[in-house]
Structures are given as structure tokens and as C-alpha cells.
Structure 1
Amino acid sequence: MKERARRINQADIAELADVSISTVSRALGGAHGISPEVRERIRRIADELGYSERPPVQLTAPAIKAVVYLPMHPVTGGLHPIFQETYDGIVAAAAENAFELFPKLLPEEDIDLALIRETADYHGTATAFMFYVDPVPEVARFFQESGSLVLVNNIDADMRFDSVIVDNYAGSKLATRKMLAAGHRNILFVAGNLRYSPRERLRGFYDAIAECPDASGQQVVIGYDRHETAMDYFKRYFESRESWDWTAIVCGNDLMAIGILQAARECGLTVPDDFSIIGFDDISWSAMTTPRLATVRYERAGLGEEAIRLMKRRIEYPDAPVIKASVGVTFVDGGTVGGF
């Protein structure tokens, strides 16, 4: 009896092309992350071998694969507490919208083109969410040409990518107005750095100051927006001075505000008797301080949900205009604001 010819499969193609079976599968399926040279070699070998495969019948829509790039906390090595609830919001919305997420917790400086390409190739997707990070030019070009990117807690000033962010300007202006209403007229703004979000918060601060003719504002940038940095900076500040000309602080985030509270306590100062302070973000730690930190709240889980919505729209309508979505804010009273 004549032996039936064996059917060619993807393992045969992978062996001749010197790549993995998964690379063959993704190349033939049109997935992102495969170089043109490798894709062409795989297709040529498949044609020469007479390879054909009927695609499996899909009873449900396939999941949308997406990588989530998360900035690693430089001290703890974990996820920055400001971003945890937003990431939880993305996870919850992803489960409801057929997304399969691949989270990557990395130092911001490691997110370069080589990493992006390697990750896209490994997971078979060039769809990504990027928290806080400003994509370097070559990474931006990669997503423009080969994939889809949504920025979370950041914006793209060049309007190449959809983004979702809190209304930083309005939140800081609201906090500063609260200090002015309490009678403070010389107020200090503390920023960790001057990236987009703190710049907008600083702008809101100065615009609120400008509304009050007898008020004045000043600023200090301490280098990092962390609890540890603020505590060290202000402990030295309080120890090296007998007095200062401001009576209140509007902080760029809660972590710095909590660090300043700790520095004040260690230096024998009392809040709000010696000075008042307001944070921004309303992280869980803010409800645990003594007194409770006054702060600005926004729906962080809502940021994540909106990011998923933007990505679905971008995938469905690749040429749609770019959207910058903004989440509103509310003020949270606390015991750290006193009258002056």
C-alpha cells in the first residue's frame, strides 16, 4: 500500500527558518513584532513546502492582547502607590472587555526601543498602555508605525497618542484657593520635578495666587516626588532655619506632604499650628496621618477604565482623532489646614 504523504506543519517551517514555532504562528497570522525579513523568510518557506492550514473556527471573539508598562518605585522596587488603583481599574475594565494584559514593572529608564520590540515579539502584540512615562522618540515611532499606545497619567504634547490624565491644573487651583480662604497669603508650592503633571499643578497654584491681590506664592523643587525625599529635604530645612516667610504648603502629591508632616513632627513642629499643608491624590495613606491630610481626590480606577475605552476605540478606528481625556477632582477636608 502506498504511504500517505505527511502533512506539512509549522514545526517543519520553524526548523528550516531557524525560528520558534510561536514565531512561525505569529508571522503567518500577521501579528505585530516580527521583522519584515523574518516574516518574508517564513512565508517563502511555507509556500515552498506547500503549507496550508484552515484557521480554527472561533466561537468567541479573541482577546485583545496588550502590554502594560508600569514605572517601578525607585526605593521599594514595587508599584508606586499612586498608580496601584489606576492599574486595578485597568485590570477590572480589561476583564469586562476581552483584554489580556501583560504587566511589566520596570525602572522608567529601561523602557527603550529594544525592550519594546522584545516584549512585543514575545507576547505577539504591539498594543500597549504606558503609565506616566514619556516615550522616547524611537519608542514613539515604533508605536506610530507598528502598534497602538495609550498614555495613562500623562499626555502626548504632539497629539500622536490617546491619553487619560487627572485635571492637574484644576486640582491644584482648588487646593490653593482653600488655603487662601483660610487666610493664608504667603504660600509655598512643593514639586518633586517639573514634568507635565507637576507643571500643570504649579500653573494652577500660581493662577489661584494671582486671583488674590495681597497673596504671594513661591516654589521649591526637591528632585523626586517621594515621601523619603520630602522628609529628608524638609528635616534639613526646618533644622537650618529659625523661621520662614510662608505659612502654608500646597504639595505636588500626598507622598511629599506625608514626608513633610513627618519631618515637622521630628523637628518638634505641629500641623496646622505651625503651618498648614494640602496634598494631592488622596492615596490610602492620607487617611492614616495624624491629623488627616487635606488633599485633592480623583477617581484613579476611573483613569484605568477610560484607558481601556480609549484603546478599544483606537483599535476599532485606527485613524480616529487623538483624544486627551481628563478626569475631574474634588477637595477632601482634613485636619492639616488651619486659619491664619
Structure 2
Amino acid sequence: MNDLKIKRPRQADIAKLAGVSVSTVSRVLANEPGISDTVRSKILKVASEHGYPVKSASEAVAGGLALIASDGVTGGLSVFYESIVDGLRAGTAEAGMPFEVRMVREDRATPEVIRDYMQTADAEGLFLVGIDPNEKLRGWLEESLTPTVLVNGTDPSMHFDGVSPANFFGAYEATSRLTKAGHRRILHLTGSHRHTIRERVRGFEAAIAAVPGAKGRLVPLTFQGSASREAHELTVAALAEDAGFTAAFCMNDFIAVGVLEAVTEAGLRVPEDFAIVGFDDLPCALMTNPRLSTMRVDRAALGREAVSLMLSRFRDRTAPARHICQAVVPVPGGTVPNAEPVRDADDL
């Protein structure tokens, strides 16, 4: 049929060999309806010939539904969640898992609403993306043994599987970049009810406590409107106090942009007079001047790991919950002095 040799075929390889789209291959391998028998047979034949694992209809993986907090997405974090959803789509496609995505306001995430969503999507598994289940929802999910994975979420009681960035260690590393550069009075602009963000606060406080003479201050945001604008205003107020703060660790990169604007407008040099570290490594980090020093979260990997947890949960619904932490990696930039690799003497 085709002389193309593939050691570990992907769906894209099967699509190329069969002369169809990747989405068509994904639908066939997931045993979805709506594909002609001729096309279905051709794809399954190509997949089998090249060693791609093909499930029969009786072995089909149960469907999954991802619910995303529309409050967060429409509040400016759409790019953050977009990458997570990409990872979920890729992971479910590889697993042959039927998959749908819906947005819902977090205050409307009730058992009744979610039950209806899952029935409509014919889904057995639930991915809660950026949503911490409230007491009522927790009770229903546990009682019904609904396979549930918190994506970019943490369950302190470990009743639900989850995957998240290493928020504590990431925040500790971010703050340490500032203390290692000599800063001893550091602001932390933050604010959220979510467990993941509380872990970043804990990491910040632990890094401050680890350095004699260091002092940190939490600067809470309300997130009423633009986070960058609010961060700008709060930073202006903090600088006006003349309390000696010379650095800021920001909950995310949007906030860091507002801090950078306020510091620059105050006539301070970055990073010589004031240093800044963001979090998430969002596209806006590439657009600042100087380029923002931040912490990279592999958001697509969060989605893929969530799928692996769901598949395990499908196999054993009573197994102890598991949580996967993805490492958060420092990203060099120009808003922290002495924290990036030293250049050769000839370059100085």
C-alpha cells in the first residue's frame, strides 16, 4: 500500500497513509459513528498493518467531559486554558476516548447541572478544569463514584485524582531568584480562592522565611476588571509608601505586566532598581521590555497527564486517589539581575 516505514505510528501517520484527515482517524479509532464503512475499514486496515493498537467496539474507552470555569477563561486566562484543552484533546484522541468540552460558571457547577451535561455528552468521566468542587458537588461525585480528575487543581483531602503545576516549589524557586539577586523586601501580588494559588503563597512565604532578614508582603487583588490594571494601581500605591520594597513575585504574567508598567512609570530601572518574576510563561512575557523573567508551566502536559489519570480511574473506580505534579521551570528574562546564566567576559 505504501512503503513508508513507521516505528511508532501516530494518528497523523495513519491519516497520511490512508489519505484522510487526522480527525477522521481519531473518530474511527474512537469507534464514533458517522464514518462510511469503506473509510472505516481502510483506516483500521492501515492502522493494523503498521502496529497501531486498535480497540474493538466492545473495548471502546468511555467518554470524557471537560468542564472549564468560564469565569477564569473570560477573565483573560483563555490562553492558559487553551493549551490545557489542547493536551486533553491530544490525550483523549490517542486513547480513543470520546471527548467534549463545555464552559460553566463555577457557581453553577451543581450536581444537577453537571449530571445533565454528562448525560447529554454521554460521558462517564469528568475533567474539572480550573474548578474546585464545592461541598455539594464533592458529595455527589463521591457518592456516585463518578470518575473525576481535577485539571490544574488540587484536592487537599485527596478524594479526587488531580494534576497541577508544582505550585509550591515553583513559587519557592521564583522567590528565591529574587533573594539570590540580593533582594530582601519583596512583594507578592496574588489573590484567589483556589488551592493551587494558596500553594504559591505558601511557596513565597517559605522562600522568604528561608533567608535571614528577608521580608515579604502579600498584596491581594480583587480581579474586578483587568488584572494588569489592578496590579499597576496596587504597585503604584506600594511604591508611594517608600517602604523599601525592591522586587515583586507575581501570581501570573498578566499581573507582572502591570507591575512592570508601574515601576517603569515611577522612574525605576528594571532590573537594577526593581526586579520582577512572573508565573505561567504566557505569550505576554515575550512582549515586555525588558523581557519578563517567569516560570514555565507545561499546560499541554497537564491535559495529557489528566487523561492518563482518567484511564486508570476507569479501570478501578475505588483505587486511592493520585495527584501528579508537573515541574515548573525558570524562564530567563531581563527583569531579574544575576539570576540568568552569566555571559562570557567578551560579551560584557
TM-score, with structure 2 as normaliser:
0.74
**Mapping 1:227-242, distance limit 5 Å:** 228-235=226-233, 237-238=235-236, 241=240
- 2:158 is aligned with what amino acid? M
| 2:99 is the counterpart of 1:101 | yes
- 1:210 is aligned with what amino acid? A
Residues 233, 330 of structure 1: CA spacing in aligned structure 2 closer, same or farther, 3 A cutoff?
closer
The 1-side partners of 2:195 and 2:158 are apart by 14
Pick aligned residue for 1:120 from 118, 121, 126? 118
The 2-side partners of 1:294 and 1:205 are apart by 16
The 2-side partners of 1:150 and 1:218 are apart by 34
- 2:133 is matched with 135
Bigger CA radius of gyration: 1
- 1:22 is matched with none
- 1:65 is matched with 63
Residues 188, 99 of structure 1: CA spacing in aligned structure 2 closer, same or farther, 3 A cutoff?
same
The 1-side partners of 2:309 and 2:196 are apart by 20
The 1-side partners of 2:283 and 2:225 are apart by 14
The 1-side partners of 2:318 and 2:72 are apart by 37
- 1:154 is matched with 153
**How many Å apart are 1:101 and its aligned residue?**
1.2
Counterpart contact for 2:263–2:274, Cα < 8 Å: no
**How many Å apart are 1:141 and its aligned residue?**
2.3
**How many Å apart are 1:164 and its aligned residue?**
0.5
| CA deviation map 1:214-248 (0-9, x unaligned) | 21111111123x88234234336516826342000
- 1:283 is matched with 282
- 2:321 is matched with 322
The 1-side partners of 2:120 and 2:206 are apart by 48
Counterpart contact for 2:275–2:337, Cα < 8 Å: yes
Aligned residues: 282
Residues 252, 237 of structure 1: CA spacing in aligned structure 2 closer, same or farther, 3 A cutoff?
closer
| CA deviation map 1:150-187 (0-9, x unaligned) | 00111112222100111111111111111111111111
Counterpart contact for 1:88–1:301, Cα < 8 Å: yes
- 2:94 is aligned with what amino acid? E
- 1:11 is matched with none
The 2-side partners of 1:250 and 1:236 are apart by 14
- 1:256 is matched with 255
The 2-side partners of 1:69 and 1:129 are apart by 6
- 2:22 is matched with none
SS at match of 2:60: coil
Counterpart contact for 1:232–1:263, Cα < 8 Å: no
The 2-side partners of 1:242 and 1:198 are apart by 26
- 1:140 is aligned with what amino acid? R
The 1-side partners of 2:93 and 2:316 are apart by 21
The 2-side partners of 1:245 and 1:254 are apart by 23
Aligned-residue CA RMSD (Å): 2.4
Residues 223, 236 of structure 1: CA spacing in aligned structure 2 closer, same or farther, 3 A cutoff?
closer
The 1-side partners of 2:236 and 2:334 are apart by 21
- 2:214 is matched with 215
- 1:179 is matched with 178
| CA deviation map 1:70-103 (0-9, x unaligned) | 1124684786222221111111111100111110
SS at match of 2:321: coil
The 1-side partners of 2:111 and 2:76 are apart by 23
| 2:84 is the counterpart of 1:86 | yes
The 2-side partners of 1:175 and 1:237 are apart by 19
**How many Å apart are 1:142 and its aligned residue?**
2.3
SS at match of 1:67: strand
The 1-side partners of 2:231 and 2:208 are apart by 25
**How many Å apart are 1:191 and its aligned residue?**
0.6
- 2:201 is aligned with what amino acid? L
**% identical equivalent positions:** 35
The 1-side partners of 2:107 and 2:244 are apart by 38
| 2:185 is the counterpart of 1:192 | no
SS at match of 2:290: coil
**How many Å apart are 1:267 and its aligned residue?**
5.3
TM-score, with structure 1 as normaliser:
0.76
